[in-house]
Amino acid sequence: MDKIIFIKAKIFPDSKKQEIIKKDENSFEIRVKEKPKQGKANQGAIIILSRYFNVSPEKIRLIKGFHRASKTFVLYK
């Protein structure tokens, strides 16, 4: 059975560099180069999270905050 982790993140789209900053146990700030158009910044955040947690991007879903800077993702590990 998969382990489920909820991740809260504040996304900063259209940044000059991509990075992830851990704020506490399951809270992050994520800077992405993509613009906040057509879900591109959300997808960029999923890619960064997948690299950070060493899982496939398909194992991460955005569940809250589709059109806001503060988002909640669920990770199936």
Number of domains making up the chain: 1
| Domain that residue 47 falls in | 4-76
Q: How many residues are recorded in the chain?
A: 77
- Residue 34 CA to residue 26 CA, distance in Å, equals 23
* Interval 29-56: pLDDT, tens: 999 999 999 999 999 999 999 999 999 9
- Residue 77 CA to residue 40 CA, distance in Å, equals 23
Q: What is the mean pLDDT of residues 63-75?
A: 97
Q: Any idea what the CATH number is for the domain that residue 35 is in?
A: 3.30.1200.10
Please check the confidence at residue 1 and state whether its pLDDT lies above 60: no
Residue 77's pLDDT is 83
